[in-house]
Structure 1
Amino acid sequence: MDLELRHLRILLAIAEAGSLTRAASALLLSQPAMTTQLRRIEASIGLPLFERSARGVVPTRAGELVISHARDAVTSADRIRNCRLRLAAGLDPVTVGGCSGPILSHLTLHLPAVLSNPVSFLQLAATGEAMSRVGDQSIAAGCLVDLDGFGTTPPDEVVVDVIGREPLVVILPAGHPLTRERRVDLAALADETWILAPNDTGCDDYGALADACGAAGFAPRVSPHRIGDTSIQCDLVAQGIGITLAQGSARARAGVVMRRLTGDPLLGRHLLAMHRESPLTGARTLLLDLARGAFDTRCVKPG
């Protein structure tokens, strides 16, 4: 694995925080994802860079040397960023939009540092709306999330790249008997009521759920409530109104528990969509690299 700037920032964050947990929080990563990234970095270098203890981590001698060079490299990159920002004063601003999730969050944090154009971000409620805005060029690029096999066909003038596929998880009330299981069989949820998001022209949530439940031997009972906000969904689940689905990378909230489904019967797709005449066409590779980096570090893999 070739080290990238994001890997160097991870090393600096760990060294500054003295703890993998605190460094993960500062970079908006999960602690397991941070640990995985550090292992990959150390495997690439061939030496341990930190000594672990109950009180945290401290750099090894090799780690001190690598961190010193990493600090120089990141400082140089920041200077380049400032130069680009000054040059960007004469460039047209662009807007990147999309559905809530780790890809949009990651781009919001890191894209302005490497993009010449001034960039703003717009969170959109639905995949269909995001696809429509990419198509009419009201946004320069879109980060979309749909369900594998139940998404919409993009317009001819829109190019869509699949960043990765992530298993959906079921959100249960904290006291539900199935929370004792590491994974939940979909068939065990046959008597539950499902809370779904509002109808989305870009993603057939009900069709995907009905297909998976049908394969498990039952038809899902769906609540009349159509709620897209995850926080409200979790409040309803916590009160026993029903259960719902979420991206595998979603963060747990008080009163509910998230569990993967046995066999991962429902997969979410993280997508990057761009009009063929988008002002960011020349930066497409850059956006894809950032999006894939976010997926690799923050999303759950099938299996």
Structure 2
Amino acid sequence: MDLEVRHLRTLTTVASLGSITKAAAALGIAQPALSAQLSRIDRTLGGPAFVRDHRGVRPTPLGLLVLDRARTLLPAMDALVQDARRLACDDAAPTLRLATTGTALAATLVHRLSHPGAAPATLRCVPDTARAAAELAAGAHDAVLAGMCGDALPPAAPGAQWRLVGTDAVHVVVRADHPCGDDVELAELADERWVKAAGDSCFGECFLRACSRAGFAPPAPSECDRTAGLELVRAGAAVALAQPYGALPDGLRAVALRGAPLTWSTWLAMRADAPDELRTRLVAAARDARREQLAAADGCRLRARGADRAVRPAI
């Protein structure tokens, strides 16, 4: 038996649900039929993809390898089918497929790419940059916008070419009534609890090294999505390491770290065979999105300082 796309979908369904019974129900087949199919897949692979115990099913090392490849191949196959159907229907406005990971600029980029006569852009969030690059190389995306620690380089992938959009200093988000100034040394926040976005490449290690150079050792930072992180800051339970883009919700403000001990880079990847016109348009739109969001952040800080001066009593 040859391994087929439907077999990969079966394996990913079983892995995501962790149960043969639940997977059979989700796939709309009987449990004995699914067990028999898994046995045939195991024979094709040369070993078992899963082990079973009282908790359900878990991938073996072989299964993990196949699942990792399947997560790249399946989006590429879906993209192939969509593109083929679009071409068969003579669709004059193909979709621009943009993947994003680790950056707050994605929504602004999509907005800048959306104008009459242009291909509509769709956005897909990917857990990590390496997977996004692999999926780009496999044809699942037209471009990848990725944010990474300023000390890191984006992962290489066959046929994918990276362009640097820009590198910026990381800021700290605090409550509006926090006693620190708008420009502080990292050591001035040594007693704080910290929160950062999850999956920020090597950023966690770079943060701890920066703190060590500043003369203190912070507790390990919490990791969560942006909304949860800002709510922790609003509640006074933490301060947040953040990309310096856009305006903040009411009750919060951004603080600059003197000497920029932490930086964040935005990268744009496209396939090597991308048309020059598309490459030029995407790079320009990404850099414009960055400038727009930096300007919005600067405007927010100026307004906050003006309001602070307005309510501060004269001495």
Q: Normalised by the shorter chain, which TM-score bucket?
A: 0.5 to 0.7
After superposition, the Cα gap between the structure-2 partners of 1:108 and 1:100, relative to the gap in structure 1 and judged at 3 Å, is farther
Specify the alignment match of 2:236 in structure 1.
240
The count of aligned residue pairs is 209
CA distance in 1, matches of 2:157, 2:213: 31
What is the TM-score of this pair, normalised by structure 2? Answer: 0.58
Alignment map for 1:268-287 (pairs within 5 Å):
268-278=264-274, 282-287=277-282
Query: Which residue of structure 2 aligns with residue 150 of structure 1?
Result: 152
TM-score (norm 1): 0.60
Question: What is the alpha-carbon distance in structure 2 between the residues aligned to residue 240 and residue 144 of structure 1?
Answer: 30
Name the counterpart of 1:261: 257
Give the aligned residue type for 2:206: A
What is the Cα deviation at residue 141 of structure 1?
0.2
| Structure 2 CA distance for partners of 1:94 and 1:296, relative to 1, 3 Å | closer
Q: Which moved more, 1:255-264 or 1:129-138?
A: 129-138
Q: Offset of 1:269 from its aligned partner?
A: 0.8
Query: Equivalent residue of 1:137, what SS?
Result: coil
Shift of residue 232, structure 1, vs aligned partner = 1.0
Secondary structure in 2 aligned to 1:299? helix
- Which residue identity lines up with residue 95 of structure 2 in the other structure? P
The residue aligned with 2:210 is 212
1:170·1:245 contact (CA, 8 Å) conserved in 2?
A: yes
Task: Write the deviation string for residues 251-294 of structure 1: whole angstroms up to 9, x where unpaired.
Answer: 2123332111111111111111112245x554101111111222
Instruction: Please tell me the residue identity of whatever aligns with 1:175.
Output: D
- Percent identity between matched residues is 24
2:283 matches 1:288: yes
Contact map agreement 1:196 1:222 (CA 8 A) in 2: no
Secondary structure at the aligned position of 1:164 is classed as: strand
Contact 1:141 / 1:273 at 8 angstroms: preserved in 2?
yes
The 1:100/1:251 distance shift into structure 2, 3 A limit, reads farther
SS in 2 for 1:259: strand
Distance in 2 between residues matched to 1:153 and 1:100, nearest whole Å: 14
Q: Is the 8 A contact 1:183 1:259 kept in 2?
A: yes
Q: Structure 1 residues 212 and 137 mapped into 2: Cα distance closer, same or farther (>3 Å)?
A: farther
Aligned to 1:119: 121
Task: Tell me: higher relative CO, structure 1 or 2? Use CA pairs within 8 A at least 6 residues apart.
Answer: 1
Can you give the 5+ residue segments of structure 1 that lack an aligned partner in the other structure? 1-87
Question: 2:134, 2:239 → 1: CA distance?
Answer: 30
Question: Counterparts of 1:3-42 in structure 2 under 5 Å?
Answer: none
| One-letter amino acid matched to 1:109 | H
Distance 2:290 2:258 in 1: 22
Structure possessing the higher radius of gyration over alpha carbons: 2
- The structural deviation recorded for 1:100 is 6.7
Tell me if structure 2 keeps the 8 A contact 1:112–1:119.
yes
SS at match of 1:221: coil
Structure 2: runs of 5 or more not aligned: 1-89, 299-315
Give the whole-Å Cα distance in 2 for the aligned partners of 1:135 and 1:219.
40
| Aligned with residue 161 of structure 1, among 160, 163, 167 | 163
Q: Matched residue of 1:240: which SS?
A: coil
- Rounded Cα–Cα distance in structure 1 between residues aligned with 2:164 and 2:234: 33
Calculate the aligned-residue CA RMSD, in Å: 2.9
1:185 corresponds to which residue?
A: 185
Letter in 1 for 2:291: D
Change in Cα spacing, 1:226 to 1:102, as seen in structure 2 (3 Å) is closer
Structure 1 residue matching 2:115: 3-state secondary structure = helix
Secondary structure of the residue aligned to 2:231 is: helix
